[in-house]
């Protein structure tokens, strides 16, 4: 269920990749299939507001921390949010409510386990059935972690998350590039865009398709109070969409690294791989550290020997976020 993104998706220079060019016919077919599906399927409305936090690139851009941050804001306003997710990497079809201390990563996936530590979470391959379960169990609003390209459930607010540093890669659709759909088409369908770690130029590019008041800035910051020792060295490993972002975050927060080991997104670690990591850490006189999402995929025994570094999403302008969310609840 895991994958490693090709190097040509995010090239270091502008030289065209022959591998990417060779995949353009497949990319056109992928893009066409998505457009047809969205044109043919009539979205089913839910009985409570649905907020989709998605993206238009494959891989990690910080959707899950942002979904949690939005849920925190809504919960503080008494909105009783539920998460709804497909449960990538798990075999449960659902609809099923996740029980964080009982369900396994092979059953429901790593992201649902992380989400369920904060608010009620429903896993469902059928988004409409999942939304109905959430409403039946008391949700006053639903936050979809991903699903922007899925047309089955009607969204009251579609938010696209953009990595302000990586952007849209080579600008091509899967498998020739990282895009789930073309940039212009995806941004025009979005009600709002959240730029994470903005660099000069990204806001202008997004602004060609989205109104200025609907462009929000956010950043990922370490959760306060984590027991890391900045005087100790760490061997970092991560199986997320963009492992290098995690490694850079550790360095930026003053944690010296003895090494870094990337794995494919949603990777399920074997005992041999973990034993190899422990051996490397011992030789380097370092402690093992990974992401909070990766930590969900480890056994109880492995967790006891490995640190995780948790991050949270912080919005630069909370009143702007409140103004975006408020119209959803005019029906109350």
How far is it, in rounded angstroms, from Cα 58 to Cα 313?
A: 20
- Which uninterrupted H or E stretch holds 121? strand 121-123
- Which uninterrupted H or E stretch holds 282? helix 271-283
Check whether residue 65 and residue 161 sit in a common domain. yes
Tell me: pLDDT of 272 over 90: yes
Check whether residue 323 and residue 187 sit in a common domain. yes
Check whether residue 168 and residue 61 sit in a common domain. yes
In a domain, 210, yes or no: yes
How far is it, in rounded angstroms, from Cα 4 to Cα 240?
A: 9
What pLDDT sits at residue 91? 81
Structure-model confidence comparison of residues 332 and 85, the more confident one: 85
Q: What are the structure tokens assigned to 6, written together?
A: 């090709």
In a domain, 297, yes or no: yes
Check whether residue 58 and residue 203 sit in a common domain. yes
In a domain, 325, yes or no: yes
What pLDDT sits at residue 238? 94
What pLDDT sits at residue 77? 94
Structure-token match 């730029």, residue found: 195
> What ranges make up the beta strands (E) of 184-331?
192-196, 215-222, 234-238, 257-262, 287-291, 307-309, 311-315
Tell me: pLDDT of 309 over 60: yes
Q: What CATH number is associated with residue 292? A: 3.40.50
Check whether residue 201 and residue 319 sit in a common domain. yes
How far is it, in rounded angstroms, from Cα 271 to Cα 305?
A: 13
Tell me: pLDDT of 2 over 60: no
Structure-token match 């379960």, residue found: 133
**Helix (H, G, I), strand (E, B), or coil: what is residue 169?**
coil
What pLDDT sits at residue 1? 41
Q: Tell me: the pLDDT tens digits for 43-100? A: 999 999 999 999 999 877 889 999 999 999 999 999 999 999 987 777 878 799 999 8
Q: What are the structure tokens assigned to 21, written together?
A: 């060019």
In a domain, 186, yes or no: yes
What pLDDT sits at residue 253? 87
Q: How far is CA 274 from CA 235, 284, 304, in A?
A: 12, 15, 13
What pLDDT sits at residue 120? 97
Q: Tell me: the pLDDT tens digits for 143-194? A: 999 999 999 999 999 999 999 988 999 999 999 999 999 999 999 999 999 9
How far is it, in rounded angstroms, from Cα 308 to Cα 303?
A: 9
Domain count for the chain: 2
Q: Give which of 111, 133, 114 is closest to 122, Cα–Cα.
A: 133
**Helix (H, G, I), strand (E, B), or coil: what is residue 51?**
strand
> Band of the pLDDT at 199, cuts 50, 70, 90?
low
* Residue 264 lies in domain: 224-309
Contact 99, 116 (CB under 8 A): yes
In a domain, 92, yes or no: no
Check whether residue 157 and residue 290 sit in a common domain. no
In a domain, 68, yes or no: yes
In a domain, 16, yes or no: no
Check whether residue 151 and residue 191 sit in a common domain. yes
Tell me: pLDDT of 332 over 60: no
SS3 readout for 258-276: EEEEECCECCCCCHHHHHH
User: Given phi > 0 = left and psi -120 to 50 = alpha, else beta, which region is 243?
Assistant: alpha
Check whether residue 70 and residue 204 sit in a common domain. yes
Average pLDDT over residues 236-240: 93
Check whether residue 323 and residue 259 sit in a common domain. no
If one counts every other C-beta atom within 10 angstroms of the C-beta of residue 146, the result is 19
| DSSP codes joined into one string, 110-159 | HHHHHHHTTS-EEE-SSHHHHHHHHHHTT-SEEEEES-TT--SB--SEEE
Mean pLDDT, the chain, integer: 91
In this predicted structure, which of 149-153, 211-215, 230-234 has the lowest mean pLDDT? Answer: 230-234
Check whether residue 209 and residue 238 sit in a common domain. no
Check whether residue 65 and residue 147 sit in a common domain. yes
According to DSSP, residue 168 is labeled T
Check whether residue 187 and residue 45 sit in a common domain. yes
In a domain, 21, yes or no: no
> Band of the pLDDT at 331, cuts 50, 70, 90?
low
- Which uninterrupted H or E stretch holds 38? helix 24-40
Exposed / middle / buried, residue 16 (Cβ in 10 Å: 0-12, 13-18, 19+): exposed
Long-range contacts of 180-183 (CB under 8 A, 24+ apart): 180/34, 180/55, 180/56, 180/57, 180/58, 180/148, 180/149, 181/31, 181/34, 181/35, 181/56, 181/149, 182/31, 183/56
């Amino acid at each position: 269920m895991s994958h490693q993104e090709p190097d040509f998706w995010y090239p270091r220079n502008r030289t065209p990749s022959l591998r990417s060019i060779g995949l353009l016919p497949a990319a056109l077919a992928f893009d066409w299939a998505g457009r047809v599906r969205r044109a043919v399927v009539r979205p089913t409305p839910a009985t409570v507001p649905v907020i989709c936090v998605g993206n238009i690139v494959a891989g990690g851009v910080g959707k899950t921390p942002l979904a949690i941050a939005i849920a925190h804001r809504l919960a503080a306003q008494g909105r009783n949010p539920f998460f709804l997710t497909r449960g990538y990497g798990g075999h449960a079809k659902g609809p099923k409510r996740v029980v964080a201390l009982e369900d396994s990563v092979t059953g429901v996936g790593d992201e649902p386990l992380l989400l369920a530590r904060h608010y009620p979470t429903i896993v469902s391959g059928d988004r409409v059935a999942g939304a109905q379960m959430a409403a039946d169990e008391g949700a006053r609003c639903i936050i979809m972690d991903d699903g922007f390209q899925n047309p089955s459930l009607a969204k009251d607010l579609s938010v696209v998350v953009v990595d302000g540093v990586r952007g849209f890669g080579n600008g091509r659709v899967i498998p020739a590039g990282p895009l789930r759909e073309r940039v212009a088409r995806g941004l025009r369908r979005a009600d709002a865009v959240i730029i994470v770690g903005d660099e000069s130029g990204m806001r202008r590019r997004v602004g060609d398709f989205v109104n200025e008041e609907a462009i929000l800035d956010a950043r990922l910051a370490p959760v306060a109070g984590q027991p890391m020792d900045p005087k100790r060295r760490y061997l970092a490993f991560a199986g997320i969409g963009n492992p290098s972002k995690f490694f850079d975050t550790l360095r930026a927060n003053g944690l010296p690294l003895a090494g870094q080991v990337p794995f494919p997104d949603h990777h399920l670690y074997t005992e041999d791989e973990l034993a190899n990591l422990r051996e490397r850490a011992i030789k380097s006189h370092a402690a093992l550290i990974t992401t909070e999402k990766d930590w969900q995929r480890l056994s109880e025994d492995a967790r006891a020997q490995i640190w995780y570094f948790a991050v949270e999403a912080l919005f630069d302008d909370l009143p702007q976020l409140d103004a975006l969310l408020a119209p959803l609840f005019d029906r109350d």
